[in-house]
Structure 1
Amino acid sequence: MKKVISIAIALIILISLVSLGKQEFTIIGKWKGQEKGSTVTYMEFDEEGYVSMRRNDEVMGGKDFKIKGEAFSMFYTTDFEKNPPQLDVTVTRKSTGAQRKMFGVIKIVNNNNIIISLTERIRPENFDGPEAISFKRQ
């Protein structure tokens, strides 16, 4: 009986160590992107599903932001089961509920480097277009 308990404990420890070695990717956090050219873009994804973007002095997004005095919110959804993983960003006008959606794909280089390709009309199929931006986790 002691031998069975010892083997069970050893297996639990081994499984725990193996799962600690694997880091699941999360997009949550602040990312700094360099567009083709010289423009720097920051994106911040939070745990509640909101995303904000900053390019030069222009900031938009998050749970509550204003454009010309009108309130909006911007949230994101991801699907890492797809290949390549998908990212959708939705801007909602709070007064009417009207939404505008952007469709994207993510290339995960590693846990701290990604490439996002995001467009308004159709989901990009690759990362070759001018809308593809490389991001580094901050």
Structure 2
Amino acid sequence: MVKGFRDFVSRGNVVDLAVAVVIGAAFTAIVNAIVEGFINPLIAAIFGEPNLAAVGNFTINEGEFSIGLILAAVFNFLCVAAAVYFFIVVPINKMREMRAKEPESEEESVPPEEILLLREIRDSLRDRV
């Protein structure tokens, strides 16, 4: 049971997922700082409200609705998703492409003895015809 758990944890996917969660949390903090320090003051200047959550509020029969709260959550999600994609996913994909393009070593480029023997037999049969 412990061996199975160790194999599960040592797989690349689990490690990638753990790194993604940690980096996602860090990017969330950055995005929240940008929203609080730049976007909310910009919204206050445009709409006269302190933040996006205060925009589009209305009440119907003592029920308070907030379109701005939904917009703020969508905006934060899109900012985090864009930051993760452009600063993590794209560079990792480029790095993987570069690794895939690395030239093969000489050992990998030399075919096995059986293949060489089969090629010699093929060539000798071709020469007979």
TM-score band by shorter chain is: under 0.3
| TM-score of the superposed pair, with normalisation by structure 1 | 0.26
Would you tell me which structure has more helix in proportion to its own residues? Answer: 2
User: What's the TM-score, normalizing by structure 2?
Assistant: 0.27
